[in-house]
Every structure is written in structure tokens, then in C-alpha cells.
A and B are shown apart, each in its own frame.
Chain A
Amino acid sequence: MSTLEVEPGAAPESGLVTTDTLDNFDEMSCSLEEIKNINPSIEDEESNDNAIINEHFDETVSNDNEVASVDDDFELNKDWIGKDKHVFVLSMAGKPIYSRYGNEDKLAWLFGVMQTLVSFIQSSDDCIQSIHAGNTHFVFLVKKPLILVTVSKTRESESQLRIQLNYVFNQITNILTLTRLNKIYEQRQNYDLRRLLSGVERLIDHLLTFSENEPSVMLGAVQCLPLAASVRDTISSAITGACSKIKNLVFAILLANNKLITLVRMKKYCLHPADLHLIFNLVQASESFKNSESWTPLCLPRFDASGFLYGHVSYLSEDCQACLLLLTVERDVFFTLSEAKQKIVEKLRRSNCLEAINESLSTPGESSASAGFVEIRHYLYKCKSTSQFYQPILSPPYTQTKEPLTRIYKRAHHRLHNSSRPLKLMFERSADEAILAWDTKGFELFVVFEPLIDTSAAIMLVGRLLNWIKKKEERLFHLNAPTF
């Protein structure tokens, strides 16, 4: 179909971990230990941290319960039953931790049922995976020390649902670290985790919406803010310049509007797209970062689930709403990083990069029709080696609601990656649209056409489209993988 030698968006080196869809989510690395070993001066906080957890275990009475009694009886509520997708998190002991809708305390009976199911199957040395009843899927993810369950009527596949549950697990790890999570339940099987997760429900809600509506989670990839290569390079070197002397800085991430502007990293270390998604989610869901510089611990589970990184988080300036995160393994270097941030902003201002970012943010982007592909309604292109993807802006008939489009992509994606019968290429036509999905070694492509297109025209267009993306790749992808 195409005559390209190298797929668009590919680069010799990538700052993001290469992903193939449905990669093994259990894999965790232990990068923190390595970094700390290089710099043994970094104090380890785990020990005193722990003492503090214990001390406060019983102290604060959560007043959630009082408020709760006013709520409706959610479990009896038609509205509640009619929800497209429920997500529940509970402890191995069956204690409620999170419910996407309704109040967990009212649903205690339901959590009890779920826990019983899991332990019943476990008692015969097996693990419950899923239950299917009509078009409702019950998918279970048993991931010590938590049980995650989703009840979905969304037509997403079991593996797609499982990925979402994994993301929820990672979100909880992101807040607490896996080490602390395990320790808590080792000390008290019956611990009510909601105490520690107060405020995190919002993050999980947000993450679920994100994983349902944005293709990034399904693709395991990140979209970049379109910028001239020279601008992106200037931004990266402004960051390297200001940070190169700072020890123990692991990642510098600049993002805006859920798109990556640049990622600068410590030599040898890469960021997993799933971790970057958690960062996007945190930034998007935390209005408080907008008002001042912040300092916050966060754990990137794919990078290292055992401990925290510390992040200096701030928006570049009043007049440029891009968010900069400087992540380090040291807990006490806020002021060093704050100073570095000032330098970065000054440099970006002088080199007109703030304007360039603003300009890209304020231009709506190209639709596939305006790029000359009138028969193509929309497409997703993912470059596997750099874990980045590109999509044009929405055009009719998907501008009113994106939902049908999302559904088409999820279905096609499932067809390609169906573990029992994976496909490399599929073309399917319905009364409403035609879709071509193509999985190659280097990329994944999903193209939605007008319904009347014939196969040969579709194939020809795909070739042209790939050439077009290739020509624009410098602008659409982050092709460098700068290090400090």
C-alpha cells in the first residue's frame, strides 16, 4: 500500500517506552533504587513515613459517612442501574474502596458479593476473569491487595475493560505507591482505604472518562502538540540548559491541553505512556496547579511502583497555559527547581516559544478534509517505536458527538487485537461508514471513510495519507529524545 521506507513518526531513539497494545501490565521496574544507588546521599523516607501512617491510622474520623445518609438509596435507583459502566474497587477482605456511581457504604452488600465470588473461585486455585450476561460484561481484575470489577454495557471488549481497570489500579498506586499499599494491608486486612484516598475519587472518575473517550489509552500512546521542529528543539534545549546541573532530576515534562510538548529525561530512563497518561490526568483534574507553584509526591507505577518521585508543578505563565513538571527523586529541592523553572520561562519568552505554543493551542488543527482527504472522515495513526499517535480534528458527522466514532475505533481495535484471532488488516463497510484498520510492525492505522468508498480507492488513499503524515512528521511528532 505504501512505499515508505520508514513509518511516519519513527525515530532512532524514543523518550517514551515502546508499547505494543495489550502489553503486560504486571511488569514493573525498579528504577528508583538504581538512581538512588548512584547518589547514596538521598535520604530514604520510607521508614519515618511509615511511622506517620501508623500514628494517624485511627485519628481522623472521616465525616463522609454523615453526609452519606442524606443521599438517595442508590442501589435501588433506576438511574444507578441504568449506568453504562460501573467500576468498583474493594480490598481482598471485601471492604469498599471506590464506586464510580453511588455511595460505597450503601453498596456494602454488593461489594460483599463480589468478594465472595472472587474468593470462591480462588479457593479452587483459580482466578475469576469475567462473566457475560447478554450484553453486560462483568470483568474482574484481582491484583493484590485489591480487587477491581467493572460492569459494562459499553460494548468495549474484555481486554479494553481490563486495561481500564489496570489504569484505575495504577492511579491508586500513583497516589500511595505499591509498597505502601501492600504494607497497609499487611498491617491491617480490614483497613478502610478511603481515608487515604479522600480526594482521589475525583482523579479516578476523571481517568475513567479519559480512558473511555480518548484514543490514547486504547492505543497506549501519546499525542503531541503540533509545533515546528525548531521550536520544539529550542524548548527542549531551554529545559536541558536550565536543568543539566541539577542532580537527580529524572524527567521534565511540558504539556498542554492533554498533548505533549516535550519530554526531557535522565540518560537511560524512559517514560511509559501509561505513566504519562496518569500525569495528564493529574494535571487536568487538578485545578489547584493553576494558581501557584506546587510540590507534590507522585508514583509512576510503570517507572517504579515502589516509591515516590517529587514533582515541581507549575504553569509556564499567566499568558501561556502549558504545564511544566520537573520530577526528581529528592524530596527537598523545590527551590532549586523553582529557580530552574524561572530560567526556562525567561528563555522561552526571549526565543518566542511561548507565542509559538499559544499559537498552536489556539489554532484548531487540521481536519482530514482540509488536508485534502475529503473521503476520509477521521483517522488514528500510531507509531509504535515512539509510542506517539496523531489524529486530525473531528469533522462531520462526528462533531456533534464523538461517541459513535469512539465505538468504531474500539471495535476495530478489538478486531485487530483479538487474542484468539488477531488480524493484520481489515476493511469493513456498513451503511454509515467504512473502516480500514491496519496493524504493521511499525505502526497501527485506523481510517474511517465515507460509506460508499470502494476497496481500491481506500487503499490508494491510505498510501497517500501515510505520505502526508510522513511529510508532516516533524511537526506532529516529537522525534528527538533529549536527555539532561
Chain B
Amino acid sequence: MKHIVGKVVLLGFQGVGKTALVTRYVENSFHRQIAPTVGASFFTCKVEADGNMVTLQIWDTAGQERFKAMAPMFYRNANAALLVFDLTSQTSFESIKMWVQELKGNVDEPMMLCMVGNKIDLNDQREVSREQALAYSQSIDATYLECSAKTDQGVGLIFQKLAQGLLRLQGLTSTLKVYDDDIMANSSELEATDTANEETVNVSIGSIAHGNTVNFGKCC
């Protein structure tokens, strides 16, 4: 069993449900009143995929315009970008295109792109058609998925796909950490990591304590 540790960045217009999506997966909860993210929030979780363990270090960025200048800090070292838009807002879809442009211009290492149309529970108010989104995702080599953070529909699959995508990135990028077993992965989470600035990886006590007993698709 392999264990890889990958960095994921969530990008998208304000209010599309980035925080709702992560907290739905990590804490399995949904709050109608989620406060807008300030700066960026950090989460970690584990996903089992194809018999391997993937630890995701997730940066949930703020969509508010004033934080845009901060984004490079988070996507620069990311192995995957989750580009989230709101199916009921064409504006938020256009915003994805802008993010893709920015990533293309600033990221050199291979990165998995995953486009997510959120709020499918509001299907009757849809402004972005599935075809439109699919066509664009294919043009940029991204995976496309739809979900609802509110009802949990399709949320698990997104993180499955993310984990599988990261597994496929092994060997293609120097910023992805690969360990041959879990113990190694856990202990090395304590050490300095790969990023340019010798930052130390955040150690989630929970993730160590739980060791191998991780439920499929659910987080630590």
C-alpha cells in the first residue's frame, strides 16, 4: 500500500460553495449560513483510492476580490486545483475561465484540474448547462463533476477523483510526496516538506492517531 500526500487548492468566485463543499466532506455537515472565508482556510483529510492512501492538504481560498492577489501563494505548490462554480451563476462560470488562464500562466509543474459545478440541488435555476461545462472542461483537460454540498450528492466522488488523479501524478511532479507505507508517511509529516520555503507540514493529530483505520471515502 502506498501513501501519498498531495496539496489541493480550491478556487472560485465568492459564494459558490467552496467552504460548504470541503466541510461537507471533512466534517459531513452543512450550514445554511456559512460566513465568507477570510484569507484562506486549511484542512486535511485522507482518502482511500485503489488500495492506496491519499492525504489531502486542502487550501480553501476566499473568493472575495480583495484576496485575489493572495492566490499564487496557495496554487503555486498545489498538485490539484478544484475549480468550483455555482451552476446557477454564469458569472461564477466565467470566473473559472479566468482562474484557468492564471494557472496556465503561473504554474509549471503538472497539476490535476478538476472542475466542479456546485448547487445541483438548485437544478431548476441552472444557468450553466452540463454540455457547456463539459465542453470547456475537455478543452482544458479537466475532470468535470457536479455536486451539491447541501445534499451531499456527488461530493464523495469529487474527492475520490482527486485522490485517483493525484495517484496518477506520481513520478510526474517533484512536489508530490510518495511513501511506501503509512508509518513512513505519518512520521514524515512531521518533517520539513518540499516547498521552497522549508515550511513544516501541519500535523493533524487526528490523522496520526487513526493510523490505518480510515473509512472509505470519509475523512480522518
Closest residue of chain B to A61, judged by CB? Answer: B91
CA distance A294 to B66 in the complex (A): 16
Chain A interface residue count, Cβ-Cβ cutoff 8 angstroms: 41
B23 at the interface (CB under 8 A from A): yes
Q: Which residues of B contact A288 (CB under 8 A)?
A: 19, 34-38, 41
Q: Which residues from B are CB-within-8-Å of A335?
A: 193, 199-202
**Contact at A332–B65, with CB atoms within 8 Å?**
no
CB of B1 to closest CB in A, whole Å: 26
Are A333 and B197 in contact (CB-based, < 8 A)? Answer: yes
Residues of chain A within 8 A (CB-CB) of B98 are: 56, 59-60
Partner pick for A294 among B34, B40, B64, CB 8 A cutoff: B40
A289 CA to B34 CA in the complex, in Å?
11
The answer for the CA separation of A52 and B101 in the assembled complex, in Å, is 13
Residue on A with the closest CB to B60?
A292
Beta-carbon contact of B35 and A342 below 8 Å = no
Contact A286 B202 (CB under 8 A): no
**Which of these, A45, A291, A297, A339, contacts B39 with CB under 8 Å?**
A297
Residues of A within 8 A of B64 (CB): 198-199
- CB closest residue in chain A, given B61: A295
If A196-B65, A198-B65 touch, whether A292 touches B199 (CB-CB below 8 Å) is: no
The chain B residue sitting closest to A194, CB to CB, is B65
A196 to B67, CA, bound (A): 9
Chain A stretch 331-353: residues in CB contact (< 8 A) with chain B:
331-336, 338-339, 342
B95 touches A198 (CB 8 A): no
- Interface residues of B toward A: which range? 35 or more
B99 to chain A minimum Cβ distance, whole angstroms, is: 11
Q: Is the pair B199, A63 in contact by a Cβ cutoff of 8 Å?
A: no
User: A297, B70: Cβ atoms under 8 Å?
Assistant: yes
A332-B73 in contact given A288-B41, A292-B42, A292-B43 (Cβ < 8 Å)? yes
Q: In the bound complex, how far is the Cα of B68 from the Cα of A216, in angstroms? A: 33
B203: CB under 8 A from chain A?
Answer: yes
Residues B66 and A175 in contact, CB atoms below 8 Å apart: yes
For A288, give the chain B residue with the smallest CB separation.
Answer: B35
CB neighbors of B among A297-349 (8 A): 297, 311, 313, 331-336, 338-339, 342
* Interchain CB contact under 8 A, A296 and B40: yes
Chain B neighbourhood of A198, CB < 8 A: 14, 64-66
Q: How far is the CA of A342 from the CA of B202 in the complex (A)?
A: 9
Q: B199–A60 contact, CB under 8 A?
A: no
Known: A61-B91, A286-B38, A294-B38. A333 touches B199 (CB 8 A): yes
B209 within 8 A of A: no
- Which residue of the partner chain B has the closest CB to A50? B69
| A13-38, CB < 8 A from B | none
- A261 CB within 8 Å of chain B: no
At the interface, yes or no: A282 with Cβ under 8 Å from chain B?
A: yes
- A117 CB within 8 Å of chain B: no
A52-B68, A60-B95, A331-B73 in contact; A291/B41 too (CB < 8 A)? yes
Choose among B13, B42, B91 the residue that contacts A293 (Cβ–Cβ < 8 A). B42
Closest-by-CB residue of B relative to A338 is B202
**Bitwise interface map of A from 52 to 92 toward B, beta carbon under 8 Å scored 1, else 0:** 11001001110100000000000000000000000000000
User: Complex Cα distance A339/B42, Å?
Assistant: 13
Query: How many angstroms from the CA of A357 to the CA of B34 in the assembled complex?
Result: 27
Q: Is A49 part of the contact surface with B, judged by Cβ < 8 Å?
A: yes
* Subset of 8 A-B contacts with CB under 8 Å: A197-B66, A198-B66, A288-B37, A294-B37, A332-B196, A333-B199, A335-B201, A339-B202
> Footprint of B on A, CB under 8 Å?
45, 48-49, 52-53, 56, 59-61, 63, 175-176, 195-200, 282, 286-289, 291-297, 311, 313, 331-336, 338-339, 342
